[in-house]
């Protein structure tokens, strides 16, 4: 049976991941997919920490792990370096900031063939980096519809379904020969853009809830806000290159924050706008508190009644402000 399995290449673009690369590699080494049928290519983006040193220790013990260098440092360059060096007929993109269930790879390959898909991915279970209510609140927000919207790989799905994009992704290598590599102009969101190209070319992208990865987000509000702010920028900024990656759900924070700012400024001109400004804030906080109360009850910890509103605000306002900056960056030379 194992002789019939395809050889695959696992590509891990990373930079300054000394805290997570070991856990990530351990989860891949523990996969139930035959090791003689896979290679792991870690593409190091000029890390300033011990990432490269840690990977070299694994290489001494596991011959199927290789270390490649990415002088440009950013993710799309790392992915393309890995794809060009890959020997496998299947390419699995892996995020270093996550770990993977032991059947992750085998199920990706199985469903890729079973559904005749071009890209397969699963759901991520968002886990706190460390113990503590703030880290847990951030993890909860990224798996909750109020924080993640209709992003099925975050919120889950009851059955396999065709989607626009997935976390990571397991691709047939022929896909890259057909539609090209990842766009190196996109420091963020390059996976969304690639999958849009894939669908436009008639490709099939499948999300399977039976495939599971474990993701570790920021564990403090400052980093969480900044991450959302940067994501917001790269939702809009690709338009600079004639690339539209967003769907309607990505624009909700932009519209929300823009309306708040607009009505806030106009409130100095007319009382009507001031009342509208207050009404929007009241409505938003009411919905926010409602979801937060449900979460607090579920967790049996009423600290979340106070923490979740702050985390959701950081998520929405950070993303919205980033999107506004991304819009203004479109007009910079």
Give the pLDDT mean for 131-136: 92
| pLDDT score at 129 | 81
Q: What is the pLDDT of residues 94-130, one digit of tens each?
A: 999 999 999 999 999 999 999 999 999 999 999 998 8
Whose CA is closest to 234, among 143, 113, 171, 327?
327
Q: What is the pLDDT of residues 283-300, one digit of tens each?
A: 999 999 999 999 999 999
Give the pLDDT mean for 317-331: 95
Whose CA is closest to 101, among 211, 217, 216?
211
Is 251 buried (19+), middle (13-18) or exposed (0-12) by CB count in 10 A? middle
Give the pLDDT mean for 59-80: 96
Give the pLDDT mean for 65-84: 96
Q: What is the pLDDT of residues 134-162, one digit of tens each?
A: 999 999 999 999 998 878 888 888 899 99
**Would you say residue 2 has pLDDT above 70?**
no
**Would you say residue 23 has pLDDT above 90?**
yes
Share of residues in the chain with pLDDT > 70 (%): 99
39 strand-pairing partners = 9
Distances, alpha carbon 199 to alpha carbons 52, 161, 175, 332, in Å: 35, 14, 11, 31
Query: Could you tell me if 52 and 44 are in contact, meaning their C-beta atoms sit under 8 angstroms apart?
Result: yes
Domain ranges of the chain: 2-219, 224-329
Query: Could you tell me if 92 and 110 are in contact, meaning their C-beta atoms sit under 8 angstroms apart?
Result: no
| pLDDT score at 262 | 96
**Would you say residue 1 has pLDDT above 60?**
no
Tell me the fold of 2-219.
Spore Coat Polysaccharide Biosynthesis Protein SpsA; Chain A (3.90.550)
Cβ burial 119-136 (10 Å sphere, 16+ → b, else e): bbbbbbebebbeeeebbb
Give the pLDDT mean for 57-75: 96
Q: What is the pLDDT of residues 193-205, one digit of tens each?
A: 999 999 999 999 9
Q: What is the pLDDT of residues 155-191, one digit of tens each?
A: 888 899 999 889 989 999 999 999 999 999 999 889 9
**Would you say residue 323 has pLDDT above 90?**
yes
């Amino acid at each position: 049976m194992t002789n019939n399995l395809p050889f695959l290449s696992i590509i891990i673009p990373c930079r300054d991941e000394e805290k997570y690369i070991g856990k990530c590699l351990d989860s891949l080494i523990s996969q139930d997919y035959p090791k003689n049928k896979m290679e792991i290519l870690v593409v190091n983006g000029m890390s300033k920490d011990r990432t490269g040193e840690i990977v070299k220790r694994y290489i001494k013990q596991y011959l199927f792990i290789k270390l490649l260098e990415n002088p440009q440092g950013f993710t799309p360059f790392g992915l393309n370096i890995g794809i060009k060096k890959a020997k496998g007929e299947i390419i699995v993109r892996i995020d270093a900031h996550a770990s993977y269930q032991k059947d992750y790879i085998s199920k990706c390959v199985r469903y890729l063939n079973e559904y005749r898909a071009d890209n397969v991915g699963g759901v991520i279970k968002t886990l706190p980096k460390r113990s503590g209510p703030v880290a847990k609140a951030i993890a909860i927000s990224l798996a909750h519809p109020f924080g993640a919207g209709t992003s099925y790989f975050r919120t889950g799905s009851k059955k396999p379904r065709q989607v626009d994009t997935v976390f990571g992704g397991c691709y047939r290598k022929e896909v890259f020969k057909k539609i090209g590599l990842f766009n190196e102009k996109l420091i963020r969101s390059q996976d969304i853009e690639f999958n849009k190209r894939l669908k436009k070319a008639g490709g099939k992208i499948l999300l399977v809830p039976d495939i599971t990865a474990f993701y570790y987000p920021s564990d403090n509000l400052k980093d969480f806000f900044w991450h959302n702010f940067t994501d917001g920028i790269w939702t809009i900024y690709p338009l600079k290159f004639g690339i539209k990656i967003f769907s309607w759900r990505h624009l909700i924070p932009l519209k929300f924050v823009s309306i708040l700012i607009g009505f806030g400024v106009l409130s100095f001109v007319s009382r009507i706008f001031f009342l509208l400004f207050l009404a929007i804030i009241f409505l938003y906080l009411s919905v926010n508190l409602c979801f937060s109360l449900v979460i607090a009850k579920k967790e049996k910890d009423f600290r979340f009644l106070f923490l979740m509103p702050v985390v959701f605000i950081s998520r929405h306002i950070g993303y919205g402000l980033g999107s506004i900056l991304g819009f203004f960056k479109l007009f910079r030379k």
